[in-house]
Amino acid sequence: MKKRVLAVLLSAAMVASLAVGCGSSSKSDEKSETKTETAKDTKEETKDVEAVEQRTVYVTPEWLKSAMDGNQKGYEDVVVAEVAYSDDAKDCESYQKGHIPGAIYVGDVEVEDATGSEEGAYNLLSADVIEKNLLSHGITKDTKVVLYGGDISGTARVAYAYIWAGVEDVKIVNGGIDAWEKAGYETETKANEGTEAKDFGTTVPAHPEYWTSIEDAKDKVANDDNFKLVSIRSEEEWLGKTSGYNYMDKAGEPDGAVWGKGAKTAADVADFTNDDGTVKDLDGLKEVWKDCDFTLDNHLAFYCGTGWRATVPFLVLYENGYDNISVYDGGWYEWLMHDDYPVQVGDPASADCQHTTVGELPTGKAAK
Protein backbone atom coordinates (compact mmCIF):
# COMPACT_ATOMS: atom_id res chain seq x y z
CA MET A 1 0.00 0.00 0.00
CA LYS A 2 1.05 3.60 -0.29
CA LYS A 3 2.93 4.20 1.84
CA ARG A 4 4.49 4.13 1.74
CA VAL A 5 26.26 0.62 1.38
CA LEU A 6 30.53 1.26 0.61
CA ALA A 7 31.86 0.91 4.12
CA VAL A 8 35.31 0.35 5.52
CA LEU A 9 35.33 -0.89 9.11
CA LEU A 10 38.74 0.61 9.73
CA SER A 11 37.23 4.10 9.63
CA ALA A 12 34.92 3.14 12.48
CA ALA A 13 37.89 1.99 14.48
CA MET A 14 39.71 5.28 13.82
CA VAL A 15 36.72 7.34 14.92
CA ALA A 16 36.36 5.34 18.12
CA SER A 17 40.04 5.75 18.88
CA LEU A 18 40.06 9.51 18.31
CA ALA A 19 37.00 9.95 20.49
CA VAL A 20 38.93 8.69 23.53
CA GLY A 21 41.45 11.49 23.27
CA CYS A 22 44.82 12.38 21.79
CA GLY A 23 46.91 11.26 24.80
CA SER A 24 48.97 8.09 25.01
CA SER A 25 46.29 6.13 26.87
CA SER A 26 46.96 2.41 27.06
CA LYS A 27 43.20 1.76 27.13
CA SER A 28 42.86 3.71 23.90
CA ASP A 29 45.57 1.62 22.32
CA GLU A 30 43.92 -1.58 23.54
CA LYS A 31 40.55 -0.56 22.06
CA SER A 32 42.14 0.34 18.74
CA GLU A 33 44.00 -2.96 18.58
CA THR A 34 40.84 -4.90 19.51
CA LYS A 35 38.73 -3.23 16.82
CA THR A 36 41.45 -3.75 14.20
CA GLU A 37 41.72 -7.40 15.18
CA THR A 38 37.92 -7.77 14.98
CA ALA A 39 37.91 -6.27 11.50
CA LYS A 40 40.64 -8.69 10.42
CA ASP A 41 38.72 -11.60 11.92
CA THR A 42 35.54 -10.59 10.09
CA LYS A 43 37.34 -10.41 6.77
CA GLU A 44 38.78 -13.84 7.44
CA GLU A 45 35.33 -15.18 8.36
CA THR A 46 33.73 -13.93 5.16
CA LYS A 47 36.41 -15.33 2.85
CA ASP A 48 34.51 -18.55 2.27
CA VAL A 49 31.09 -17.04 1.55
CA GLU A 50 29.90 -18.53 -1.71
CA ALA A 51 29.85 -16.31 -4.79
CA VAL A 52 26.57 -15.58 -6.57
CA GLU A 53 25.60 -14.95 -10.17
CA GLN A 54 25.16 -11.42 -11.51
CA ARG A 55 21.48 -12.01 -12.00
CA THR A 56 20.95 -13.23 -8.43
CA VAL A 57 18.74 -10.71 -6.65
CA TYR A 58 18.18 -11.97 -3.12
CA VAL A 59 21.44 -12.33 -1.16
CA THR A 60 22.34 -12.98 2.46
CA PRO A 61 23.80 -10.40 4.86
CA GLU A 62 26.89 -12.63 4.96
CA TRP A 63 27.34 -12.27 1.20
CA LEU A 64 27.09 -8.48 1.40
CA LYS A 65 29.57 -8.35 4.31
CA SER A 66 31.91 -10.57 2.31
CA ALA A 67 31.66 -8.16 -0.61
CA MET A 68 32.29 -5.17 1.67
CA ASP A 69 35.31 -7.02 3.08
CA GLY A 70 36.69 -7.37 -0.44
CA ASN A 71 36.13 -11.11 -0.59
CA GLN A 72 33.74 -11.20 -3.55
CA LYS A 73 35.56 -10.77 -6.84
CA GLY A 74 34.00 -7.97 -8.86
CA TYR A 75 32.05 -6.65 -5.88
CA GLU A 76 34.80 -4.78 -4.06
CA ASP A 77 32.98 -1.52 -4.79
CA VAL A 78 29.24 -1.77 -4.20
CA VAL A 79 26.64 0.90 -3.64
CA VAL A 80 24.38 -0.10 -0.79
CA ALA A 81 21.14 1.77 -0.25
CA GLU A 82 18.34 1.71 2.26
CA VAL A 83 14.94 2.03 0.64
CA ALA A 84 11.86 3.65 2.16
CA TYR A 85 9.01 5.81 0.95
CA SER A 86 10.20 9.15 2.35
CA ASP A 87 11.74 11.47 -0.22
CA ASP A 88 14.48 12.59 2.21
CA ALA A 89 16.76 10.55 4.48
CA LYS A 90 16.11 13.06 7.27
CA ASP A 91 12.49 11.94 7.33
CA CYS A 92 13.31 8.22 7.42
CA GLU A 93 13.30 7.06 11.02
CA SER A 94 14.89 3.69 10.28
CA TYR A 95 17.80 5.25 8.37
CA GLN A 96 18.39 7.76 11.15
CA LYS A 97 18.24 5.06 13.81
CA GLY A 98 20.96 3.00 12.16
CA HIS A 99 21.81 1.67 8.71
CA ILE A 100 24.34 -0.61 7.08
CA PRO A 101 27.73 1.18 7.14
CA GLY A 102 28.17 3.32 4.04
CA ALA A 103 24.55 2.99 2.96
CA ILE A 104 23.00 5.88 1.08
CA TYR A 105 19.28 6.56 1.15
CA VAL A 106 16.89 5.99 -1.75
CA GLY A 107 13.18 6.78 -1.75
CA ASP A 108 10.56 4.77 -3.60
CA VAL A 109 9.30 8.14 -4.81
CA GLU A 110 12.45 8.36 -6.95
CA VAL A 111 11.11 5.64 -9.24
CA GLU A 112 7.32 5.99 -9.15
CA ASP A 113 4.69 8.67 -9.32
CA ALA A 114 3.56 9.47 -5.79
CA THR A 115 0.55 11.62 -6.63
CA GLY A 116 -1.86 8.91 -7.71
CA SER A 117 -3.08 11.23 -10.45
CA GLU A 118 -4.75 9.85 -13.54
CA GLU A 119 -1.64 10.71 -15.54
CA GLY A 120 0.72 8.99 -13.10
CA ALA A 121 -1.48 6.36 -11.44
CA TYR A 122 1.39 5.33 -9.16
CA ASN A 123 3.18 3.96 -12.22
CA LEU A 124 6.91 4.22 -12.80
CA LEU A 125 8.12 7.75 -13.44
CA SER A 126 9.29 8.70 -16.91
CA ALA A 127 12.56 7.16 -18.08
CA ASP A 128 14.42 10.49 -18.05
CA VAL A 129 13.42 11.25 -14.45
CA ILE A 130 14.43 7.81 -13.20
CA GLU A 131 17.73 8.07 -15.08
CA LYS A 132 18.39 11.48 -13.49
CA ASN A 133 17.66 10.10 -10.02
CA LEU A 134 19.94 7.13 -10.57
CA LEU A 135 22.77 9.36 -11.75
CA SER A 136 22.34 11.62 -8.72
CA HIS A 137 23.43 8.65 -6.57
CA GLY A 138 26.28 7.75 -8.90
CA ILE A 139 24.43 4.73 -10.24
CA THR A 140 25.00 3.69 -13.86
CA LYS A 141 24.22 0.50 -15.73
CA ASP A 142 27.53 -0.98 -14.52
CA THR A 143 27.14 -0.11 -10.84
CA LYS A 144 26.83 -2.98 -8.39
CA VAL A 145 23.78 -2.06 -6.32
CA VAL A 146 22.60 -3.73 -3.12
CA LEU A 147 19.29 -2.58 -1.65
CA TYR A 148 17.50 -3.30 1.60
CA GLY A 149 14.51 -1.87 3.40
CA GLY A 150 11.84 -2.45 5.98
CA ASP A 151 9.11 -2.98 3.40
CA ILE A 152 9.73 -6.11 1.31
CA SER A 153 7.59 -5.05 -1.63
CA GLY A 154 8.73 -1.40 -1.48
CA THR A 155 12.35 -2.51 -1.77
CA ALA A 156 11.41 -4.90 -4.57
CA ARG A 157 9.67 -2.03 -6.34
CA VAL A 158 12.91 -0.04 -6.52
CA ALA A 159 14.95 -3.10 -7.53
CA TYR A 160 12.48 -3.81 -10.33
CA ALA A 161 12.66 -0.20 -11.54
CA TYR A 162 16.46 -0.30 -11.57
CA ILE A 163 16.48 -3.52 -13.63
CA TRP A 164 13.88 -2.08 -16.00
CA ALA A 165 16.04 1.03 -16.38
CA GLY A 166 19.14 -1.01 -17.19
CA VAL A 167 21.22 -1.46 -14.03
CA GLU A 168 22.76 -4.83 -14.79
CA ASP A 169 23.46 -6.03 -11.25
CA VAL A 170 20.84 -5.30 -8.61
CA LYS A 171 20.61 -7.23 -5.37
CA ILE A 172 18.53 -7.13 -2.19
CA VAL A 173 19.62 -8.14 1.30
CA ASN A 174 17.08 -10.85 2.03
CA GLY A 175 15.64 -10.09 5.44
CA GLY A 176 16.78 -6.46 5.45
CA ILE A 177 18.39 -4.68 8.39
CA ASP A 178 16.95 -7.22 10.82
CA ALA A 179 18.87 -10.03 9.13
CA TRP A 180 22.00 -7.83 9.00
CA GLU A 181 21.88 -7.16 12.74
CA LYS A 182 20.95 -10.75 13.55
CA ALA A 183 24.13 -11.80 11.74
CA GLY A 184 26.04 -9.66 14.26
CA TYR A 185 27.06 -6.84 11.95
CA GLU A 186 27.34 -3.21 13.01
CA THR A 187 25.25 -0.25 11.86
CA GLU A 188 25.99 3.45 11.71
CA THR A 189 23.97 6.67 11.89
CA LYS A 190 26.19 8.88 9.72
CA ALA A 191 24.36 10.00 6.58
CA ASN A 192 26.01 9.03 3.31
CA GLU A 193 25.58 10.32 -0.22
CA GLY A 194 26.70 9.03 -3.58
CA THR A 195 28.84 10.95 -6.05
CA GLU A 196 26.85 12.09 -9.05
CA ALA A 197 27.55 10.33 -12.34
CA LYS A 198 27.19 11.92 -15.76
CA ASP A 199 26.44 9.05 -18.14
CA PHE A 200 24.19 6.09 -17.38
CA GLY A 201 25.77 4.06 -20.18
CA THR A 202 22.70 2.91 -22.08
CA THR A 203 19.27 4.06 -23.15
CA VAL A 204 16.68 4.03 -20.37
CA PRO A 205 14.72 1.84 -20.20
CA ALA A 206 17.06 -0.89 -21.33
CA HIS A 207 14.32 -3.47 -20.65
CA PRO A 208 10.96 -2.05 -21.73
CA GLU A 209 9.71 -5.63 -22.13
CA TYR A 210 9.50 -5.94 -18.34
CA TRP A 211 6.78 -3.29 -18.17
CA THR A 212 3.22 -3.87 -19.39
CA SER A 213 0.88 -0.96 -20.00
CA ILE A 214 -2.81 -1.04 -19.17
CA GLU A 215 -3.67 -1.05 -22.86
CA ASP A 216 -1.47 -4.08 -23.54
CA ALA A 217 -2.77 -5.85 -20.44
CA LYS A 218 -6.36 -5.41 -21.59
CA ASP A 219 -5.62 -6.50 -25.16
CA LYS A 220 -3.43 -9.50 -24.39
CA VAL A 221 -5.57 -10.98 -21.66
CA ALA A 222 -8.43 -11.06 -24.17
CA ASN A 223 -6.52 -12.18 -27.26
CA ASP A 224 -3.31 -14.00 -26.29
CA ASP A 225 -3.84 -17.45 -24.78
CA ASN A 226 -0.23 -17.60 -23.55
CA PHE A 227 -0.54 -14.29 -21.70
CA LYS A 228 -1.61 -14.52 -18.06
CA LEU A 229 -2.52 -11.44 -16.06
CA VAL A 230 -1.60 -12.60 -12.57
CA SER A 231 -3.16 -10.96 -9.53
CA ILE A 232 -0.81 -10.76 -6.53
CA ARG A 233 -3.49 -9.76 -4.07
CA SER A 234 -5.22 -11.09 -0.97
CA GLU A 235 -8.13 -13.50 -1.26
CA GLU A 236 -10.62 -10.82 -0.19
CA GLU A 237 -9.33 -8.49 -2.93
CA TRP A 238 -9.36 -11.33 -5.48
CA LEU A 239 -12.96 -12.20 -4.70
CA GLY A 240 -14.11 -8.59 -4.80
CA LYS A 241 -15.03 -8.29 -1.14
CA THR A 242 -12.77 -5.26 -0.67
CA SER A 243 -10.52 -3.12 -2.82
CA GLY A 244 -7.85 -3.41 -0.14
CA TYR A 245 -7.24 0.33 -0.17
CA ASN A 246 -8.98 3.23 1.55
CA TYR A 247 -8.78 5.31 -1.62
CA MET A 248 -10.31 2.75 -3.99
CA ASP A 249 -14.08 2.48 -3.58
CA LYS A 250 -14.73 -0.40 -5.99
CA ALA A 251 -13.60 -4.02 -5.79
CA GLY A 252 -12.96 -6.72 -8.36
CA GLU A 253 -10.31 -7.76 -10.85
CA PRO A 254 -9.63 -7.20 -14.57
CA ASP A 255 -11.75 -9.70 -16.49
CA GLY A 256 -9.68 -12.73 -17.44
CA ALA A 257 -7.13 -12.33 -14.65
CA VAL A 258 -5.84 -15.35 -12.72
CA TRP A 259 -4.91 -15.46 -9.06
CA GLY A 260 -1.26 -15.77 -8.05
CA LYS A 261 -1.94 -15.43 -4.33
CA GLY A 262 0.98 -13.80 -2.47
CA ALA A 263 -0.75 -11.68 0.16
CA LYS A 264 -2.93 -11.88 3.22
CA THR A 265 -3.68 -8.14 3.07
CA ALA A 266 -2.97 -5.29 0.69
CA ALA A 267 0.06 -4.42 2.82
CA ASP A 268 2.05 -7.68 2.69
CA VAL A 269 3.44 -10.51 0.59
CA ALA A 270 3.01 -13.07 3.36
CA ASP A 271 2.54 -16.07 1.05
CA PHE A 272 5.92 -15.32 -0.53
CA THR A 273 7.90 -15.02 2.70
CA ASN A 274 9.42 -17.48 5.13
CA ASP A 275 8.87 -17.43 8.88
CA ASP A 276 12.05 -15.38 9.36
CA GLY A 277 10.82 -12.66 7.03
CA THR A 278 13.00 -13.59 4.06
CA VAL A 279 11.58 -13.98 0.57
CA LYS A 280 11.03 -17.55 -0.57
CA ASP A 281 13.09 -19.06 -3.37
CA LEU A 282 11.65 -20.38 -6.62
CA ASP A 283 10.69 -23.72 -5.11
CA GLY A 284 8.80 -21.87 -2.42
CA LEU A 285 6.83 -19.90 -4.99
CA LYS A 286 6.13 -23.04 -7.00
CA GLU A 287 4.58 -24.54 -3.90
CA VAL A 288 2.34 -21.48 -3.49
CA TRP A 289 1.36 -21.69 -7.15
CA LYS A 290 0.85 -25.47 -7.45
CA ASP A 291 -2.91 -25.14 -7.88
CA CYS A 292 -2.97 -21.83 -9.79
CA ASP A 293 -4.29 -21.36 -13.30
CA PHE A 294 -0.96 -20.68 -15.03
CA THR A 295 2.44 -22.26 -15.59
CA LEU A 296 5.94 -20.84 -15.79
CA ASP A 297 5.80 -21.39 -19.55
CA ASN A 298 3.18 -18.64 -19.85
CA HIS A 299 4.01 -14.98 -20.22
CA LEU A 300 3.24 -13.84 -16.69
CA ALA A 301 2.33 -10.20 -16.17
CA PHE A 302 2.06 -9.65 -12.43
CA TYR A 303 -0.03 -6.89 -10.93
CA CYS A 304 -1.53 -5.87 -7.59
CA GLY A 305 -3.17 -2.67 -6.40
CA THR A 306 -0.52 -0.15 -7.34
CA GLY A 307 2.58 -2.09 -8.40
CA TRP A 308 4.50 -3.03 -5.26
CA ARG A 309 3.53 -6.60 -4.36
CA ALA A 310 3.71 -7.64 -8.01
CA THR A 311 7.46 -6.98 -8.16
CA VAL A 312 8.37 -9.68 -5.62
CA PRO A 313 7.46 -12.73 -7.78
CA PHE A 314 8.87 -10.88 -10.78
CA LEU A 315 12.27 -10.65 -9.09
CA VAL A 316 12.29 -14.29 -7.98
CA LEU A 317 11.56 -15.45 -11.52
CA TYR A 318 14.02 -12.92 -12.97
CA GLU A 319 16.90 -14.17 -10.83
CA ASN A 320 16.08 -17.71 -11.97
CA GLY A 321 16.53 -16.78 -15.62
CA TYR A 322 12.95 -16.24 -16.73
CA ASP A 323 12.35 -13.53 -19.34
CA ASN A 324 8.70 -14.19 -20.17
CA ILE A 325 7.71 -11.97 -17.24
CA SER A 326 6.58 -8.41 -16.73
CA VAL A 327 4.67 -6.16 -14.36
CA TYR A 328 1.35 -4.63 -15.33
CA ASP A 329 2.25 -1.47 -13.49
CA GLY A 330 -1.12 0.26 -13.17
CA GLY A 331 -2.79 -2.56 -11.29
CA TRP A 332 -6.35 -2.35 -10.04
CA TYR A 333 -5.93 1.37 -9.32
CA GLU A 334 -5.45 2.33 -12.97
CA TRP A 335 -8.04 -0.19 -14.19
CA LEU A 336 -10.63 1.66 -12.10
CA MET A 337 -10.04 4.82 -14.13
CA HIS A 338 -11.77 3.30 -17.18
CA ASP A 339 -15.51 2.82 -16.80
CA ASP A 340 -15.76 0.66 -19.92
CA TYR A 341 -13.03 -1.81 -18.94
CA PRO A 342 -14.24 -5.38 -18.26
CA VAL A 343 -14.26 -6.69 -14.71
CA GLN A 344 -14.83 -9.96 -12.91
CA VAL A 345 -16.12 -10.14 -9.35
CA GLY A 346 -15.65 -13.47 -7.61
CA ASP A 347 -13.86 -16.68 -8.51
CA PRO A 348 -13.92 -16.99 -12.32
CA ALA A 349 -14.15 -20.78 -11.94
CA SER A 350 -17.45 -20.35 -10.10
CA ALA A 351 -20.90 -19.96 -11.59
CA ASP A 352 -21.38 -17.08 -9.17
CA CYS A 353 -18.65 -14.96 -10.75
CA GLN A 354 -20.06 -11.72 -12.11
CA HIS A 355 -18.72 -10.23 -15.35
CA THR A 356 -19.38 -6.51 -15.70
CA THR A 357 -17.56 -3.23 -16.27
CA VAL A 358 -15.83 -0.77 -13.97
CA GLY A 359 -18.64 1.73 -14.40
CA GLU A 360 -21.24 -0.78 -13.25
CA LEU A 361 -19.43 -1.82 -10.09
CA PRO A 362 -21.02 -0.86 -6.76
CA THR A 363 -19.15 1.50 -4.46
CA GLY A 364 -18.51 1.10 -0.75
CA LYS A 365 -15.70 -1.45 -1.10
CA ALA A 366 -12.85 0.69 0.21
CA ALA A 367 -10.76 -0.73 3.05
CA LYS A 368 -11.81 0.63 6.41
The whole-angstrom separation of Cα 307 and Cα 337 is 15
Nearest residue to 206 via CA among 145, 127, 285: 127
Cα separations (Å) of 297 from 226, 280, 285, 351? 8, 20, 15, 28
Within 8 A by CB and 6+ apart from 339, the residues are: 357, 358, 359
Kindly name the residue from 22, 92, 292, 304 that is annotated as catalytic.
304
Cis, bond preceding 205 (omega within 30 deg of 0):
yes
CA–CA gap between residue 187 and residue 314 (Å, rounded): 30
- Is the CA virtual torsion 118, 119, 125, 129 positive or negative? negative
In terms of C-beta distances under 8 Å and separation of at least 24 residues, what long-range contacts does 288-291 make, across chains too? 288/261, 288/262, 289/260, 289/261
Q: Is 353 a catalytic residue?
A: no
What residues are labeled active site?
304
